[in-house]
Structure 1
Amino acid sequence: MAVALKTAVIFLSFVSAVAKLQQFHRTFHTFNKTLEEQATSELNFQNYALVNQNALQLTPDTANNNAVFDLRNRSGRVMFRQPFKLWEGDANSNDVVASFSVSFLVNMFPVNGTPGEGLAFLITPTITIPDNSYGQYLGLTNQTLDNLTTNGILAVELDTVKQPFDPDDNHIGLNVHSVRSVVSRSLTPLNITLAPPEPKFHNVWIQYDGVSKVIRVYIADQPLIDSPTPPMPETPIIQYSLDLRKTVYRESYFGFAAATGTSVELNSVLQWNITIYQEPRPKSLALTIELAVGIPVVLTLAALGAFLGYRLYKKRVVDRSKSNILSRLRTLPGMPKEFRFRELKKATNNFDEKRKLGQGGYGVVYRGVLPEDNVEVAVKWFSRESLKGEDDFLAELTIINRLRHKHLVRLLGWCHKNGKLLLVYEYMRKGSLDMHLFTMAGELLSWTMRSKILAGVASALHYLHYEFDQKVVHRDIKASNIMLDSNFNARLGDFGLARALDNEKTSYAEAEGVIGIIGYIAPECFHTGKATQHSDIYAFGALIIEVVSGQRPGTKVNGFQFMVDYVWSLYHEGRILDVVDKRLGDDYNADEAQRFLLLGLACSHPIASERPKTHTMMQMLTGSTPVPQVPHFKPAFMWPAMMPIDDLSQATTINTTTLSIS
């Protein structure tokens, strides 16, 4: 990193010497200060904006629009407290005005599946948000102020609701004095969806050249919150000639605004980088030409130098780190066998396609037979051709090697050779739970089998959360990760996402954005970007309903987007047993089924602190403890919510990876 920083400093010093710019620069890699600290330092918060869970949350949101606290038709702003001088002289001068470069990472998520309304980067003469600036006004203007040239507003909007003057409900626009964009572009042709039903992140770059007086806007998806920032696209999605002198006030504020309308969505900024070059008045045409030609060239060289320096530094550090980790792994007590690659190649018949058990985004699993012992195994080959693949491999190996429980898939060995990364597991003859629930290849699971499977998974989860010497958050509880042995005993597997936590200090594991399958993901994860024991419990609740009903969590039934909402509606109507898998007929225990479904709803409570603990879940499954009182209406998800008592300790950041073979 020192190489990169030194390179950047040298080039930026050269930029300053050549252009003699008055530069303001801030980089927020995260927003980890408290609201009070931020508000008393550089940022001003208006209306419903706040800092929460390492992000600027500009508007409140909820998973239930019928919440007691109505979060519709709200707006918020976050602005720098200090104004910036953007031009000199009078409004009719042709002098050079300020240049600026802004980039930020946003997350816009409609919890109920209906977006509303959007977010904008903003330049404004006043720090105060207008009254009634919700809905289509995006926290920028209101019915009175909109389209007045005196309002001095310039904004780049990310809009998720179509107005009569908009191209669609998924566009980016440049707004001058009005929410009616002077130019807008639909993002749909680029396969970019601002507020999709699955959580996504978007990088936005805004560059204004005060010499040529042109503004350019770029946008690109970023899969996960801490994935590498994608390169800025070569072609801007918006390019527009604009004279700041004739658009904004001499002194203006920079920041963000957002609003909700009749629908509610999460509008948050997770990272923010801003540089403002406050240009002095040029002394001659020659200086103007120097600035016009020199600045872009030097800035490009600066960026290239910093990038190359950082890449070199990162490669050296990672290579050294991986070598040390592998050396330590070989000496860990209880470490399973280290296989040679040729052994596994022979065991799987040269990784024959016919031996393939499953495949996901991070690897392939093959069935194999170890010739020496004639033992069947499952061999997972990590297929990602990047350093991230090693992260996945090492994370899974270092955690699961020490876990010992009858309801966890047992690790038998590993292989790391010349970039080839493989793990060897005990082979589960009956395959995965989802195969039996949803495919013709499986067999119909009896009620007794289903009951036994749920009890086994609950026992494994309790071991991970409380009985192992470190708390372990699995982070990927789902039917495809539940393996079944020859007697249909459940074995929880796939620990590529699992993370070990310090029992004394940590109850949160840092997540790469939001990982998993919609329906299993707890609502708070879309705000925190973190997984906890409580989010594991939420996923187990989805699994309970899935096993009892024979329907995936994301199945849409009777107008409900998720099975949990449908089950809650049946519970309210006194018909909860209507959801039991029809293939069972009457061959199930009605009392158990009702108890299981109520436990599933209790685990699916939108408020994390209201969910049961694993030891209580185990007792409820056996009937030794009654299921807690479950409200007949699904409670509203409220954010920010009080952090559960056992999560109040200071969290230690744990680096994470994503891995899911499904």
Structure 2
Amino acid sequence: MKIQVLWLIGFLILHSMATITAKTQTLRTISYQFGPFDSSYYNTFAVMKPATISNDALQVTPDSIGNYSLNHRSGRIFFNRTFKLWDGDIKVASFNTSFLINVFRVNNSVPGEGVAFLIAPDTAIPPNSSGEYLGLTNSSSDGLPSNHLVAIELDTLKQDFDPDDNHIGLNINSIRSNKTVSLSKFNIQIAPNGTKFYVVWIEYYNKSLQVYMAEQAQPSSPTPSKPVVPVLNTDIDLSTFVKQYSYFGFSGSTGDHVQLNCVLKWNLTVEILPGQNKRNWFKIGLAIGVPLLLIFLLGIAGLSYYSYKKWKARSDPNILGALKSLPGTPREFKFRDLKRATNNFDDKHKLGQGGFGVVFKGLLQKENLEIAVKKFSRDIKGKDDFLAELTIINRLRHKHLVPLLGWCHKNGMLLLVYDYMPNGSLDAHIFCGPEKTTLNWNLRYKIISGVASALHYLHNEYDQKVVHRDLKASNIMLDSNFNARLGDFGLARAIENEKTSYAELEGVPGTMGYIAPECFHTAKATRESDVYGFGAVLLEVVCGQRPWTKIGEFQLLVDWVWWLHRERRILEAVDERLGNDYIVEEAERLLLLGLACSHPNASERPKTQVILQILSGSMAVPHVPPFKPAFILASMPGPDSFSISSSLTNTADITPVSSGWTPHYINRDVHGGEFSDASSLM
């Protein structure tokens, strides 16, 4: 009871302090004025080549031909410091900026492509971002929320999604503008014949954005008055799209046609979000008095001691002991650092959720490191899953596995910390809406090959044999270069070297659509069942359809693909969003390999070594019969044998009509009845 009273007193004191402090705080802004620009500004700006600083201007695209062509180039220039644009209370910082710009046609040619004012999480320029991409994105990344980009584009070349070749647009994570306005009705021509200078004002206040433009006679002339009417006016909550700490700058590109994008002056004013005012705290402390502060400190001490005792009672020494004794000793993170990194595990930072816990995105400020934090459930089984996952992946090292950084166990909470994968999960790119660009063929083939390499490592190259048991597109992560990283080892188990399967006593492991038929009868996970899951992933990546998709009279995707194979129309299964932009030979190879891996009978599926050889083109795909074979419960020799419940089937009564991949078998149950097709057992 004493502790509660002390805590109440402390709370009241803190509340009074916070109220007084809030009243005394004032908003601050910080302003910068840049230009004319000379070489000294290389110390102030991050200049991404071929952008340069020359001729008293920021040349967002190069200003002279030199030893290379001006065509198909892209560049970025940023003020080389970040600004905090929102805080935990979703207070969004206001800012205003103005810049003097000259967009010049080279030899009075057709202008192209454009320039943009940009808010971005980093200064790096994406590869292949010339032409229509304005140095913002590329064909692989355009439209991804992980870009965290907001830009105001001045576009001078019409694409099929643009209103004209002289417009301003608001771009969020994409070169396809969320809002566009033609500038012709304002008598503004961004890139006219001859030389014109324009001042652009961008103002952001209270989640409202306005853009103004006006002509200036010469760079040395007085700045014109800001127009009364904005050329673009919209509401936008930056905290929804940009990272908390972001850069301000410019981006531009050229394509088949070229132009010079020159920024001659730049002013920037940014609101500094309120912080702690030490002098106010000092005055408050004097006003309240030392006695009350002492009581407050006593209350905090009592509460801390009580919390410590409660934490100690909840802590599991067995788990802590197991964690401390792990080989390789992964890093132990402090709970307060992970809590701060994820903004107290805010739902806004949630990346995904599964049966074993929730994954949050976080940022370790001191290390400037983006992380993914997996928060396990608190029950006993959650602790077992936590230890199982950590024990297995602690020592795994492969370029196509999600790297584990460390762990944390605090106040009964179990956490694993991974590298953050900026491009999210594979399924988000395969099953995206029409507003996003789907993965191209080369990336799909690259991702499939990466997953196969990771699976081969788990099955054959690691010092223990590991079965993943939950291969699916949502467990395949993509790094910044769209390399596949297999993750989520919550179901994975290591099996002893003399065995080939792991028994799951509490039910069938995995996700429907990816589970091999034999697992429903044996409750065992094997390397062959992992290959079945890989086959399901392979087909969904090529077809752009979920494994359980019903197509016409077919209940499953694999049945539809097998029917197309029988009809010699298998290429019709290729994702129609790809159009004809795929390699026919590779597509047929992957589809047939997907069917081979999806063989109902485990012993007929290819091994991972064979899969890698097929993907590399050094080995042909094994013959796939025109009819899907039926599932057969057959005894497997030696340690591979399945344990079949005699109440269901007597394996001695299973008689194949023919061997190998032939589709039809006759099964007899223990009472002598017949099934015309063994797949009816499913």
With structure 2 as the length reference, what TM-score do the two structures score? 0.47
Larger relative CO (CA 8 A, sep 6+): 1 or 2? 1
Compare CA radii of gyration and give the structure with the larger one.
2
With structure 1 as the length reference, what TM-score do the two structures score? 0.48
